Every structure is written in C-alpha cells, then in structure tokens.
Chains A and B, each alone.
Chain A
C-alpha cells in the first residue's frame, strides 16, 4: 500500500495513468498533436516517448479529423488508443469520427464491433486567449448516445478515471482543465480505477446541494468553506462523470436538502446545468427553484476585465448562494 501522504499534481496523475496502462497493456497507445511537446499537453506525456518509443507515442500533423478517425479505426481493429486534443476547440474538426462513427459504431453494427477509444480533450482557457482558445464543450458530447464523458476534479480521480476510460470497451471522452494541472493531492502509487458514472460527495451538508464537475467542483469545495462561515451548510456532489450521470447520488441529496445549485464551466443553455436541473425537476424533491452558476451565453472574451466577468469561480458561487438561500 502506498502512503496516504503521497502527493502528485493533477497533470502528473494523468501521466502516471498513461505510464501504468501502457506498461501493462500492449494495445494502448497515445496519438495526437504535440504529445512530445510540454507546451501542448503540459507534463501529462512526460517520459512516455522515451519509454515507449515513437511507434506508441505518435505526434501528428494538425489533422484532427483524420487523426481522431485513425484512433477510432485502430480501436475497431482491436487497439486501445488514446487520442489527445490539447485544446478542445480544435476537436470540433473531429466531430464526425467522434459522433457519427465512434459513438454509433457499436449500435449500428448490432454489437459486433466495439470502439475502445479514449478521446481526450483539454479545456485550456483564460489568459486573454479569446473565443477559439477557451471553450468548454463537454455538453455537446454528453448529448450523444454511445459516448461516455468524464470530467475529473482531483488528481486521484484524474488518474483513476483515465485508467477506467482506457479499459472501457466504449468510446470515452475524457475532459480535463489546464486550470487544474498544478493542483496537488493524494494519489496512490499503484494502478487503480475510478468507476465511470459514479459521483462522490465532497462535503456532507444539510441546507443545499451543490452539484458540479471538474474545475467547478474544485471551486465548490472552496465556496462551501466560505458559506459555512455564513451559516449555510452545503452538500457538495462532484459527479465526476457527466455521462452517465450518477442520478441516485443526486436524488438522495436533494431529497434531503430540497434545494439545488449547479455550478458549471460551460454555457447555460442546453448544457450540463440544464440537464441536472431537469433531472432534479423531474424528481419532485425540490422545494425552491434551482440556482445555476454558469458561463453567460456569450463567446469567451479576450480582455482580462471581461474575462473576470465571464468565468465563474468560488466567489461567484458564494455570492449567488448567499443571495438566494440566506435564511
């Protein structure tokens, strides 16, 4: 057993998952733009090229459509590829292989051909990068039958969900956030998995349920500490997977609190926050209207002043919750 004190950054936790899965399964390989450049993928690919060679760590030209299709085809042919998109805005070029092909393949071939591919999209925003270098597009993929979508918020989950995504027999969209890459926390040394579709309660509370994933789950933990000072006892659910959604965990919590806040790094309309709100609405457990903290329905701006207004963080969660739920 590894020590409880072993800490690793979020990005190196992903790196460790790749090292360990590739070390134990010959069918795993990594393909995508900049896999040998720390500038593209942070240190998530550290040491992989040296250890596994260019046959397995494949840096590619900027051809998102064909390269993603290539990963999907290799999966159909029996491999377990991980295809990385260092900035998920560029992944839009690959919607055909992801949605038309990978997501549908198992169904439209009557269960005869599965697609064990991981499509790894990195949210990389802020820093005045403007509208095409900032998008969080998880809602698009969660809409599609046949895709699983995971969004870890901690180093522990980042490693465990990457391991699960690679060993899953279905296409899994693994979405992480560069804003989490430096976060350090406990990560066991040995290989382990975190079940896809299972959320976790980050903090038990009785007043209000706060649901989020990825960077906003990280912000929610901070927000809860602040809200505690104001006498609001928040229950935090980090769903970890947005497809499938751990509905039982959600329902159990809102049955108890009767109040729901959803914090999401995506847009408001037809997104993650809409889906969680709808599920809660259907459940009949809510005693008060839902509160949503999301991006406005607006493209990402460049100017730092506008960015400040644009991106939600723990302060915005605190302010909104206080305003709505203060006893």
Chain B
C-alpha cells in the first residue's frame, strides 16, 4: 500500500515537468482496494484492470522497474513502450492487461474465468472497474453470462463517486451500485474501500466462494481519488478540470487509507512510527532506483515501430 502511494506520488513532478506524457490516472487514495484484494489471490489467479491500474499491477506483483519504464515510454517497459500508463501487463504474475475503454476488460475477465472453468484449473479472475463502467451495457451482459455459467470471477467495482468529472448522482438514479448484481442472482457486497482490513476480509471470503464453485461475486468498494481524474491534480496543471468541492476532498483526506491503517498498526502495537519510517525510506530508494532505471533506458527504435502488430 505504501509502495503504491509512493510510486504514484513520485510521478507528480515528472508529469508537471513534462518528462512523463502518457496520461497517468493516479491511484492515490484507492490503494487499499488493490492491496487487500490481490493479497488474497494466488500468483496464477488473474486480474484485468482499467485506465487506473498502476495499483492493480503492483499489488499483483508486477515489476516496479518495468512499470516506471513503461510510463517513461521506454523499451524496457512492461509493454516495451507500446502501451504507456493505461496498458500495464505482467502475465507471469497474472496481471493480464488493462485498458481505458470503460468496461472494455470486464468481458475479457469473464472469458478468463470461462477458460478456468473449461480447464478446471480452480483459478479465480478479478475484474477491476470503476463506477463509471456501470453505465456500459457490457457490464450487465457480463454479469448475466458469468452467473449463468457460475464462473469463478469477482466483479470488483471501485466506486470513487465520479465518472471522470460527473458525480455519481448525475450518472445513476440511485447510488447503490452493489444492488445491480442482485437481479442476476450474484452475491453482492459493499464495503469501505479505504479500510484495507475490511477489503481483505471480504475479498478472502469472495475468493473462497469462487474457489469452491460458488461464484461469481460482486463487491462495491467505496473510495475516493485524492488526485485528479488524470494527472496529479488538474489545478496544478492549470486546466482546472477538477470541479469537485474542496470540502469534499478535505473530508476524504481524513479517510486516507494509509493513515487509517498506520493508526491501526500503531494502536495495536504491531509496528511503531520508527519502523514505518524505515519501511518508507526503503521503498523510496526502490522508487528512485526505478525512475533512474527508466530514465537511463533507451526509447524503442523507430525501425521497430511495426513490431508486435502480429505474432509471428
């Protein structure tokens, strides 16, 4: 969780300076969800992401260096400079890809779960999508088919209350997203997505259900992004597109998932301030190393532009 936060925050300066151009949808504020969910998965379980997937990639175990290099659009990136921030993948650890077409990977995740059913390999697939995706028809088609075939898939809806700039009450007649799964006979839960222990608990239960053939499961995680829709903060970048009320942002800052978990750890004497500081220091070093690795890596060559259109 700390790693995701520090990595996301490390992008702010290079974005503002223009060193990073690929549109970065930062996960700051939502770290508990990817962390809590992926902690319950096996290495060979699969996840599919969306436009805001730095956290999913890291939590599933994707290489930090390769991710940072991809964001600097280098040849050493996880997609060799062809994908950018919105197409992170690490198939060796089950991160099967991400895509910014809203709802676009939901049906792919259903297909991954169908593959597991045919192969009887007991893997679980997680589809991460946002509240915005509840406006896409493919979600409902996917819920129906996944339930019909009793697939081992978790539909993980990260509800950060905004579909880009649009508040949820302007997108939906009611904001109880978890209820959309019920008519499809899918077990559905809603939890505080900023409480990593609660996330872990519900994810663990859901994974167990899927593993024992009682899937699919739908989970709505309530959360909030502490940065702009894209980029660090639209106001810093001068375009002023973040039109969320300041008081609302402040309210959610107090519910920061990292602060919440740190308090819990200290209160229960699981760790102390000193230890936390040294963990952060260590991760900071790792992040700096990753940035240096990326910046010192070559760009993909022009003569390799058409490489990877087709698999030979």
Contacts and interface: CB of A to CB of B under 8 A. Distances in A.
Contacts of A56: 118
A70 interface: yes
Contacts of B91: 112-113
A75 B80 CA distance: 22
Interface string B5-46: 000000000000000000000000000000000000000001
B232 to A, nearest CB: 24
A72 B108 contact: yes
B231 interface: no
A63 B106 CA distance: 13
Interface string B290-308: 0000000000000000011
A63 B307 contact: no
A100 interface: yes
B78 A112 contact: yes
B107 interface: yes
B311 A111 contact: yes
A77 interface: yes
Contacts of B149: 58
B309 A145 contact: yes
Size category, A interface: 35 or more
B104 A96 contact: yes
A286 to B, nearest CB: 28
Contact of B78 (A63, A107, A110, A170): A110
Contacts of A79: 115, 118-119
Given A61-B145, A69-B138, A109-B97, A100 B118 contact: no
B148 interface: yes
A238 B138 CA distance: 38
B188 interface: no
A97 B311 contact: no
Contact of A107 (B77, B82, B110): B82
A100 to B, nearest CB: 5
Interface residues of B, number: 45
A109 B89 contact: yes
A56 B115 CA distance: 10
B180 interface: no
A114 B311 contact: yes
B101 interface: yes
Nearest to A64: B141
A76 B108 contact: yes
A61 B144 contact: yes
Given A65-B137, A76-B112, A146-B310, A70 B145 contact: yes
A78 B106 CA distance: 17
Contacts of A109: 79, 82-83, 87, 89, 97
A77 B46 contact: yes
B87 A77 contact: no
A96 B138 contact: yes
Interface string B51-74: 000000000000000000000000
B109 A73 contact: yes
B80 to A, nearest CB: 3
A70 to B, nearest CB: 4
Given A70-B110, A73-B109, A107 B308 contact: yes
A79 B116 CA distance: 10
A69 B108 contact: yes
B193 interface: no
9 contacts: A29-B118, A67-B107, A70-B107, A70-B114, A74-B118, A79-B115, A101-B105, A110-B89, A111-B311
Interface of A: 29, 55-56, 58, 60-61, 63, 65-79, 81, 96-97, 100-101, 105-114, 145-146, 148, 169-170
Interface of B: 46, 48, 77-83, 87, 89, 91, 96-97, 99, 101, 104-112, 114-119, 125, 137-138, 141-142, 144-145, 148-149, 307-311
Given A70-B108, A96-B104, 10 more contacts: A65-B138, A66-B138, A73-B48, A75-B111, A106-B311, A108-B83, A110-B80, A110-B83, A111-B307, A170-B311
